[in-house]
Chains A and B, each alone.
Chain A
Amino acid sequence: MSEPAPSEWRDDIFAAMKAADIRQVGYVPDAGHTRLIQRCQGEPGMTAVSLTSEEEGIALAAGAWLGGQRAALLMQSSGVGNCINMLSLAKSCRFPLTMLITMRGEWGEFNPWQVPMGSKTQAALELMDVLVYRVDDADMAGETVTAALDIAFNGSLATAVLLSQRLIGAKRWVK
């Protein structure tokens, strides 16, 4: 696989994470997060933790905070469904949490199986009292992630940033 093309908004997100002193990054791979995951893996000050399921990330972030480090999570929208009960950990203890979520099941989606969870991602997060921001415009990515991280760590809140499928670009039906 060739290097992903330069993609400035993903670098803006990475810069926002670094500026917020994020030290642990839990992720379940997603094509839309490829470059960001690579940047986190390549950053000596960050530990990138590959997860088998997104809910592990909620636990990882809690453990990091107990030890005095800040964590962020990267996942795609289908993974939000895997997190629902585990979000009770963040809510019961008021752990700061920021989930950066690449959207599937939206504009240009080729796989209808992504639609049920993708169309309910925001509602599911809000049912668990996660504060949800959404990015449709590349210029807004960095500052939106900064805002989500700031309120999470300053207010001990769970936050999520939905990176829309229009922003990421639709996945090709035929490879």
Chain B
Amino acid sequence: MNTAEHNRPRSNDPRLDRRAAIRTLLEKRGDLLVVTGLGSTTYDAASVGDDDRNFYLWGAMGAAAVIGLGLAIARPDRRIVVVTGDGELLMGLGGLATVGVQQPPNLAIVAFDNGRYAETGMQASHTDAGVSLCGVARACGIDTVLDIGSDTALKELAAWLHDFKRTLFARVAIHADEPPRVLPPRDGVLLKTRFRRALGAE
């Protein structure tokens, strides 16, 4: 018996389209500050329109959530949204524990979960075998944990990103597909400097 198959959560379906999902979340972004994980979520955020207040990762796999943490501590007056993938998050699960200890009230982590490493050829990730990112987030003590699998719930999340008052983690179940890449700037110094300028820190 294939235990992994047996344990696979059925709540994964229906799954959402990743580009429609990111548009719902960021189309009316207001003054949100955005950090994306390397690979697909960087392209997703860029597909809504490049913005100086997006800090895209092109490497440093596993760093997105904790970059968001440092930013959230530095700027308690702003809401920070980390958008990353299941593979990127799995590489830095300890970071979720660190976020859980700090509980910054202005940090939201949104995990686009397709159960795949899309960037490297759609190999299955641990979430495909049933590892629950929401379960990990809850176990790390993150205050609000949401499992998003419908357009209605996604729209509620989009509204909540402007109003949450405790650390928030949301898993968004997305299709394992590869929409055309939208490539934002790759120059790290440029990305850093324009982000800081947009915040008046440079």
Contact = CB atoms under 8 A, between A and B. Distances in A.
Given A59-B67, A66-B195, A93-B192, A24 B74 contact: yes
A102 B93 CA distance: 26
Specify which of B66, B92, B95 lies most central, judged by the most chain A CB atoms within 10 Å of its CB.
Answer: B66
Interface stretch (A83-91, A119-127, A137-145): A83-91
B66 A63 contact: yes
Nearest to B63: A59
B161 to A, nearest CB: 18
Interface stretch (B6-14, B97-105, B126-134, B149-157): B97-105
A94 B195 CA distance: 13
A32 to B, nearest CB: 22
B164 interface: no
Interface in B111-166: none
Interface stretch (A8-16, A45-53, A107-115): A45-53
Contact of A68 (B58, B60, B63, B199): B199
Contacts of B196: 65-66, 68
Contacts of A55: 62-63
B98 A49 contact: yes
Contacts of A69: 70, 73-74
A92 B188 contact: yes
Interface in A12-47: 23-24, 47
Residues of B in contact with A, size category: 35 or more
A67 B74 contact: yes
Contacts of B92: 56, 59
A60 B99 CA distance: 11
A156 B69 CA distance: 21
Interface string B147-190: 00000000000000000000000000000000000000000110
Nearest to B195: A66
B49 interface: no
Contacts of B195: 66
A163 B97 CA distance: 28
Nearest to A63: B70
B201 interface: yes
B58 A67 contact: no
Contacts of B65: 59
A92 B94 CA distance: 23
Contact of A60 (B35, B70, B75, B189): B70
A94 B67 CA distance: 15
A51 B195 CA distance: 25
Given A50-B98, A88-B60, A63 B189 contact: no
Contacts of A23: 74
Contacts of B90: none
A86 B62 CA distance: 9
17 contacts: A49-B98, A49-B102, A50-B98, A59-B65, A59-B67, A59-B69, A60-B69, A64-B73, A65-B196, A66-B70, A66-B71, A66-B199, A67-B73, A69-B70, A69-B73, A92-B60, A92-B189
Given A24-B70, A53-B94, A66-B71, 20 more contacts: A23-B74, A24-B73, A50-B101, A59-B95, A60-B70, A63-B35, A63-B71, A64-B71, A67-B71, A67-B72, A68-B200, A68-B201, A69-B73, A69-B74, A89-B57, A89-B59, A89-B63, A93-B188, A93-B191, A94-B189
